[in-house]
Each structure stands twice: as structure tokens, then as C-alpha cells.
């Protein structure tokens, strides 16, 4: 049997997970990040921010969505749900922010830039950031923002 390491069996694992080892593998470094993220999630200030953010996330009203689907099945004109209207406003605001950022880095036709028409925020972000980074690359700007920018 191997001898017990000084400080106990957990000592080496704690030392590596906390980033003190210096020779961590990529997997161990990911563990360090995960542990820090978990610790931040238990921080009362951050926990409050995350809890409040959950209240701000728009939710689809199942009854309203079902009504919309029923109208569509009967080949009647459908109206956007409250959720869809909210997401459209949020995504349009985000796209406008990205359009302003494109102008800030020197894209001349940023006002004509067409962003993906979607109600899914993740798709909108991927589309806008892809356009942004493509323009940055085309302009030869590796660091489009300085440290003083937002």
C-alpha cells in the first residue's frame, strides 16, 4: 500500500484544485474554473444578482401560445404572442447596439447591415458577433476596443 501523503489524501487534491500545483493539466485547470464558479454562485451578492436576473427573463405564456397554434391550425391569421413581441424588441435593441459598434470600428455601411431575423437570443448573438468579428478581421483590427472602452 502506498504511504499516506503529508497533510492527508485530500491535501494534494485541494492544492491542485486551488491552482497552487503549477503543473495542472487542462482538465485540472477546468476543474479550478468550475470550483471558482461554484464558489461565486454561493457568494450572496452574486447569488442575488443571478436570482434577480431570473425574474427579468421573458417567459412564454402557454395559454397564449396554444391559442396562437389553434388559430394557425384553422388557417386563420395569427398574432405574435407577448413573449414574441418582447423578444423581438430585445433582439432589435441588441442588433442596434452591434450596429453602433460596427460604426465605431469604421464599418462604412453598418446602417445597411442585415442581421438574422430570429426570436432566439442565442442565434441573434452568434449572428451579430460573427458579423462583428468578420468585419474586424477585414479591417485588420485584432483588438477593436481599447481597455478604456466598455
C-alpha cell at 126: 452568434
Residue 96 Cα to chain centre, angstroms = 17
Report CA 143 to chain centroid distance, whole Å: 20
Dihedral (Cα; 134, 103, 90, 143), 10-degree rounding = 50
What would the pLDDT profile of 64-90 be if each residue is shown by its tens digit? 999 999 999 999 998 999 999 999 999
DSSP conformational letter for 80 = -
Render pLDDT for 43-68 as a digit per residue (tens, 0 to 9).
777 778 777 777 777 888 999 999 99
Question: Given this model, what pLDDT does residue 13 score?
Answer: 47
Closest CA to 109 of 127, 135, 128: 135
Neighbours of 15 (CB within 10 A): 13
Amino acid at each position: 500500500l502506498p504511504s499516506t501523503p503529508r497533510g492527508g489524501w485530500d491535501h494534494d487534491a485541494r492544492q491542485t484544485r486551488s491552482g497552487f500545483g503549477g503543473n495542472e493539466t487542462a482538465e485540472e485547470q477546468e476543474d479550478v474554473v468550475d470550483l471558482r464558479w461554484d464558489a461565486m454562485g454561493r457568494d450572496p451578492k452574486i447569488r442575488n444578482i443571478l436570482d434577480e436576473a431570473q425574474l427579468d427573463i421573458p417567459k412564454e405564456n402557454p395559454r397564449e401560445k396554444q391559442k396562437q397554434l389553434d388559430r394557425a391550425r384553422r388557417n386563420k391569421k395569427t398574432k405574435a404572442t407577448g413573449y414574441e413581441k418582447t423578444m423581438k424588441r430585445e433582439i432589435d435593441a441588441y442588433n442596434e447596439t452591434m450596429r453602433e459598434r460596427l460604426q465605431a470600428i469604421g464599418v462604412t455601411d453598418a446602417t445597411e447591415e442585415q442581421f438574422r431575423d430570429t426570436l432566439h437570443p442565442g442565434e441573434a448573438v452568434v449572428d451579430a458577433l460573427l458579423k462583428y468579428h468578420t468585419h474586424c478581421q477585414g479591417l485588420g483590427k485584432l483588438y477593436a476596443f481599447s481597455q478604456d472602452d466598455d
